[in-house]
Every structure is written in structure tokens, then in C-alpha cells.
Chain A
């Protein structure tokens, strides 16, 4: 990379950067982020450990009480399920987008991006209209005489998984597409010309080369699912309390900010570890677009 050869600090060494005018531009944004982002998050750590003297009781409660442990289990179950659904739906779609004609590919990208950029609240509300007790699916089933009483499709695990898979699917498709479209198609052609069947060529050439996209997509979807609030809160029932909805419950209804903070810190630690893993797998380079080639 030649990014360091910019003007302005041609003569300035690393040490002098922060005193240069460019350093000043960066320092402004950095100050904002430290004050309104890093500081409040680090205050949560303090809240979780002091009440008012140092204690680990909030963390003990988190791991000790079965009711809270259930939120942990629910969150893992939902996140793993949603990641699996997104991969099963997303991988073939991304593969087809890679091999389809330019026109078909462009149409499919639009059909992925429009839901991607539609408000999560709107999309979750749409599922409430479709799957609710008096929702469209139940209207049809009852109208056709297939069931007597409306089926419970939301306020349970099914509803949460459908709604979250819908919200997070694009986060699987886009990294997959990014990796797959970099795969040299002539490698598959070469395998075919050397006698591999289409299935073999896919399994032994394309699939292994697409695995970085699979791991990046899975980590990203899992990471976002773990901290997701809106969809589990609207489509989940009492049995589907997740980490995020538990935090809301603890600080809003129980007003226990110390315990809420310890839940937040724990969630942040899990997400932080996954984010580091994600960057190691796909690299922030890809995310920021300067890792071409």
C-alpha cells in the first residue's frame, strides 16, 4: 500500500503526525468517539463491578441463576439456528448470482439490497401481519378449512427464527458474493477439462475456495444475531427471552442498572471476540475495500 505517501506529512515521521494538521482532523473525530462511545461503554464496566464497592455478585448472578442462564441458552439457540438458515438459503443464492448472466445478477442484487435497506422495524412488523394470530397465513389456513383454530406462529421460537433469518440473510449473502465473485472461474473450467464431473468440480474446487466467505458470513450473522433486540422483542414470547431483551427487562422493569451493566459487558465481550475473529477471517481490508488483489 502506498497510502502513507500522501502529501502534507511528506517530511513528518510517525511521531510528528499528531501535531500535524491532518492529525488534528483525525483527533477531532477520535475525541467524539472517545466521549460518546468508548467512555459510556467503559462506564458500563464500572457499573457492573461497583455497587458501591467492588463486587463480582452481578456476574455471579449471571452465571448462577437458571432464569438468566436460560437467556444465554435461548440466545445461542436462536443465533445458531438463524446462522444455519441463512447459510442454507444464502449459499445457493450467492452461488447462482456468481454464475448467472450479468443482467440476472443485477436483478438479484437489487432484490437482496431492497430488503437489506428496509427498516428492521418495518420488516418485523410485516411478519407480525403475516404470521400473527389473525394474520394472513392463519386467514388462508382457516379459509381453506385446513385448521380450526389459528396456529401460533409468532411469540414463539419459530416466529423469532423466521423474522431474524429474514433480517440477517443479506449479511450472509453479501460476504459470500464478495468472496465467490473473486474466485477465478477458469479453475472450475480447468477441473472440468481434466475430467471432473460438475459435482466434483464444485465440491473440490469451488467450495473450498468459497469457504472464507462461508466463515465470514456465518461469523457476521451470528455476531449480529447475538445482540439483536428488535425482532426477538416483537416476535418472541415469554419463553424466548434473549440476552438483549433481558437487558431491557432488567434495566426498565427491575431498574437494576448494575446487573444490566454486567449483562451488557458480557454481551460486549462475546461480540468483541467474534468481531476480532471476523476481521481475522475476512480481514477489515475487505470490509473497507482496500484489500483488492
Chain B
């Protein structure tokens, strides 16, 4: 009796989960498919296939220039927030001072502050320094969003590494910075790299700060897409969307592959390799 009920329950559970996953993934799959549509009119499934919307994207200055700007902003944001985030993570995990929890809380809080509130706050600040519409405004604003994630990832790795090797380096005569550079940082390098990738992605996809703080000369790709999507549904957007879906898959899939290869090597190697931190996430 109860056996058949379990199977039925289990089946319903699988159906429910399957539909939920379909709900999550189908819209993305549909966008990818319709991006190869040949007609002006978005159809699913397309009756004729073409790459015209991709040609449209790569051939138009109005799309290529924002893309190049987005890459630059994301690159600089990545450098700035990786440096700030790694330093903060070291300070938080290795430091011993009153209010450490409060400091950590403060550093992570931008992850939940609504972008729109940060956007108007930064607009008022940057307007005073005539920075609105300047690339610097975007570097700084995006770093506020990206740094907390770097802190989360790097501090998680720092907490799992053994501080005894750092103490050993110090007791053997290495200075603070020498220990940091040759012992602490190499041990958490995978986490720093994945933090950097996440920082890049956050900046590359960011919309709200970009529309408030960007000007005509600093239109990032998401800002340009936003302006386009509000007026009409241009099929070129389906091609751009498909490329944007691929960016995180390639980058995050890439680090996951590297991490697995490293883990496999560590497992196959001699016993002392077991002390290596096993990836950030």
C-alpha cells in the first residue's frame, strides 16, 4: 500500500520539479532558438533560419561601441574589486579586533541594497564632482556591487586554509608582505580568480547603475539594450541575449573545469598535495 503511494508521490515530485526547471530554463532556450530566425517577426519555432541578427549586431556601431565600453568597465571593475575584496577578506579573516562581525556585515550589505537606491545616492554624489556620464563613475559604482562577492568567495577560502603555514613562514624570518605574497595568496589563488570572474560578470550585466550614471558617451551594452527594449522588440536583441547567455556559461564553466582538473591532479599527486584548498565554492 504505502509502497505504491511513495512511487506516486515520487512521480508527482519529479513532474513538479521538471515543470519548475522548464519554467526556469525554457525562456532562455526560446531566446536562443529565435535568435536564428530569418524573419522580421519573432516566431517560434522559426520557419526559416539565418544569422542576420548576429550580422546586424556585429555590423552596427550602435551595438559594438557599447559592447567595447562594457568590456572595459567590467575589466577595470574586476581589477579594482578583486584588489579591494581580497584585501578586505584578509583583514576580516586574519585580523582580531573588536567589531569584526560588524565590519563584515557592512562589507556584505551592498549585496541586498536595492540598486535604485544606490543609483540615486551615487547620482547625487557624482553630480557634485561632475562625474555623471564619465567612465570613472561606472568603475566606482560597479565596484561597490562586485567587491562583496569577492569578499565572500575569498574569505571562505581563507577560512579553510591552515594558518600554521603562515606562522611557519613568519617564524622562519619572512616579513608580513613576503608571507602574504608567497604563502597566503598562492593558497587562495583559485578563489581570487573565481572572485574576479564573478566581479567581471556582475559589472558586465549591470543595468540600473549604468542607466542612472551613464551618459550618451558612456552607454554600456545593458544600458543600450534597456533603451532599445523599452520602445520596440528588435530581433537583434535576441542575438545579443544569446551571446550574453553564453558569457557566464563559458566563464563559470571554465573555472569549474580548471578547478576539477586541479582537484584531480591534487588527488592523484603525493599526499602533501592534500593540504591544497579545494576550490572556492
Point out the residues of chain A lying under 8 angstroms from B208, CB to CB.
Answer: 229-230
Can you name the residue of chain A whose Cβ is closest to the Cβ of B106? A33
Chain B 137-162 interface mask (CB, 8 Å, partner A; 1/0): 00011011001000010011001000
Does A254 interact with chain B (Cβ within 8 Å)? no
Looking at B48-56, B61-69, B107-115, B265-273, the stretch in contact with chain A turns out to be B107-115
Point out the residues of chain A lying under 8 angstroms from B95, CB to CB.
Answer: 4, 6, 9, 17, 22-23, 26
Does B249 interact with chain A (Cβ within 8 Å)? yes
Tell me if A169 and B34 are in contact (CB < 8 A): no
Does A147 interact with chain B (Cβ within 8 Å)? no
A130 to B106, CA, bound (A): 40
Query: Given A28-B84, A121-B205, are A7 and B116 neighbors across the interface (CB < 8 Å)?
Result: no
| Distance from A150 Cβ to chain B, minimum over Cβ atoms (Å) | 14
Does B262 interact with chain A (Cβ within 8 Å)? no
Chain A 187-208 interface mask (CB, 8 Å, partner B; 1/0): 0000000000111000000000
| Distance from A288 Cβ to chain B, minimum over Cβ atoms (Å) | 6
Tell me if B116 and A248 are in contact (CB < 8 A): yes
A132 to B205, CA, bound (A): 23
Query: Given A47-B124, A129-B42, are A95 and B13 neighbors across the interface (CB < 8 Å)?
Result: yes
| Distance from B111 Cβ to chain A, minimum over Cβ atoms (Å) | 9
Can you name the residue of chain A whose Cβ is closest to the Cβ of B153? A289
Query: Given A7-B166, A29-B87, A108-B21, are A230 and B207 neighbors across the interface (CB < 8 Å)?
Result: yes
Tell me if A44 and B117 are in contact (CB < 8 A): yes
Please count how many residues in chain B sit with their CB below 8 Å of the partner chain's CB atoms.
Answer: 92
Does B217 interact with chain A (Cβ within 8 Å)? no
Point out the residues of chain A lying under 8 angstroms from B90, CB to CB.
Answer: 22, 25-26
Does A139 interact with chain B (Cβ within 8 Å)? yes
| Distance from A263 Cβ to chain B, minimum over Cβ atoms (Å) | 9
Does A290 interact with chain B (Cβ within 8 Å)? yes
Residues in chain A within 8 A of chain B (CB atoms): 2-10, 12, 14, 17-18, 21-23, 25-30, 32-33, 36-41, 43-44, 47, 89-90, 92-93, 95-97, 108, 111-115, 117-123, 125-130, 132, 134-136, 139, 166, 169-170, 197-199, 223-224, 226-230, 234, 244, 247-248, 251, 257, 260-261, 264, 267-268, 271-272, 274-275, 278-279, 284, 287-290
Known: A26-B103, A111-B25, A122-B244. 7 other contacts (CB 8 A): A3-B159, A17-B96, A33-B147, A39-B125, A92-B16, A121-B205, A247-B116
Q: What are 18 contact pairs spanning A and B, CB under 8 A?
A: A8-B176, A32-B143, A33-B144, A36-B143, A90-B20, A96-B16, A96-B17, A114-B249, A115-B25, A117-B248, A125-B225, A134-B41, A134-B42, A136-B30, A198-B9, A234-B230, A268-B113, A288-B152
